[in-house]
Structure 1
Amino acid sequence: MITPLKLKKYDKSGMCQVYDKWPELAKEFFNMNQDSIDFKGIDHMVFVGMGGSGALGDTLFSSLSKTNMHLCVVKGYHLPKTVDSHTLVVASSVSGNTPETLTVLDKANKTNCKIVAFSSGGRMEKYCKKNRIEYRKIPMLNSPRASFPVYLYTMLNILNPVIPLKNHDVIESIRYLEKTRKQISSSNLNDSNPSIDLASWLSGVPAIYYPMGLQAAAIRFKNSLQENAKMHVFAEDIIEACHNGIVSWERPSIVRPILIQGKDDYVKTKKLWKIIKEYFNLNKIDFKEVYSIRGNILSKIVNLVYLLDYATIYRAILSNMDPTPIRSIDFIKERMM
């Protein structure tokens, strides 16, 4: 059980306070008076970012999947060879010090592509100013993962002339965030909170299954479970899993399946979900279902991220842990600088 006292005891940095403000933050930064960019002739985008920034790239990738804009997400050190004068490279590092992103940014600066970078400062800000690269400074709130709406909606604001997303789709996503907040926020610490319900069920090793359109939300959920709840977890496309991964359920294990489904998944994907549930029920495998809202792709992903992220925070609290510290990541970063 989570009480206000227990929440305050373990959420020492106030992560929940930031998450409770996600709808306002999204609205504020999308409507903020910012210098937009309007590079001409862009037909290809490359989003560069790791961790929380990588989740931003995944979200933009899914949101643009049904448009004419091609986008690829780079999580590593190498820039695609397809980059040319019609490419916009978007580099994001909330801390401003991510080695992989800084490496790719430097490589991009040696090509004839267009570049815009986002961070809260750090080495990225200094590099961009020195090399006269388009740069926007955005504050970090609590942590990179908690800053998700601040960065996403600032990017949607600034990149508006380039990306073919309609304003009413963005506004719809914020409106749904407000509705979702009423159900999952820290002011609703009871059984009617779907994020607490999911957090209470989570144990063992969660196996997240998802359709391709909701990959961004599933990967973000995996990452947040690892960072906030400090759990081992894996995620797999449901269609691919039915060609190999499903076989692993023939043996008992501590793995527990979570099925992330879209309200309007493709008809054959819906049939596959039905078969998977039948298989799990016949074999007495306990599973959990999570459904997206109805709406455009951006709305579905952002609201799933909100609900699922909060579940990982509540899981940490239920486990008597502070969700914010990431000592293992700090260990690696200190040695990579």
Structure 2
Amino acid sequence: MTQDFLIIGGGIAGVSAAARLAHLGRVTLLEAEPHLAHHASGRSAALFEPRYGLAPVVALSFASEDHHRHANGGVLSPRGMMIVAKADEAETFRADVAAMGLARISPAEARALVPILNPETLAFAAHADHAWDIDTDLLIQNFAREARGLGAEILTGARVTGITRTASGWEVATAKGQHAARILVNAAGAWVDEVAAMAGLAPLGFTPYRRSMARIPAPGGQDVARWPILFGCGEAWYAKPDAGALIVSPAEEHLMAPHDAWADDMVLAEGLARYEEMVTEPVTRVLANWAGLRTFAPDRVLAIGPDPRDPGFFWLAGQGGYGFQTAPAASQLAADLIAGRPTALDAATVAALSPARLV
């Protein structure tokens, strides 16, 4: 049976799109891996900080806030954020504070919130409450349940091997057989340009960058549950409490080809060293490590809309580090554009998100 919508990609972008589009017609979602959210979506820092990113990204994040707080009981819990800096980082620190809307606090106040901060290296600190943890697994489950409840078919282990344009839409070959649909939605994360090439369209220039993470025990046996997420000045590293432990990332951006990413030991060691410079508790062991690919358009803004060369091919791509926090509004915009109805976002933001800017 020919579907109305065929979505390639089972991360947060594809699953949220499936939920929205299932209100408009018949949907099939194809995910190459054995389960949803295997790649970038399964390796997210899971933070909602709506001021993070360029203006169109910020607009999507703020437009997503109500859904994050209230839909299905909400998926947010308080976290807060803090930026810390050394004496020679004053200029970068001031820029971070202005960009993120933080309030400066004294080193003593910072250490009251996070006792392991090193008084010998900590010169500047700033804090804000406007950052929340996202229950990413629950968000994925909520969207998947909505999609399935409306009749959407979600297929895992269905890697796409070929795409053919037909007079009435698309035919897609997968490891689980052939599928056909009127509209093809490209939500394939790091592989979006590869999917476009398979469909006979020139890539738009999306670039995957690796980001690594290490999970370490709670420093000094401290209760980290109420600590804010910590950022080194200039996002040189970050550390986030997670289920009684601490996740530390070098916050690197290393250009990569699309693949199932893994952490680089040397990069992790360098990032952990930057973190250790700002704290009194050394890292004595790593519980686990992993990496994900954050995929950006050349201008670091998402691409949401039909391809101007073939309107039957719809881009939902370039989420970068903003996938979960923008997903409710990004998927709603996708559905509104496909349905040809007004969107809650202003026209300038919709234009800034259009793939046409990249062609």
TM over 0.5, yes or no? no
Higher strand residue share: 2
Q: TM-score w.r.t. structure 2 length?
A: 0.27
Q: Which protein has the larger Cα radius of gyration, Structure 1 or Structure 2?
A: 2
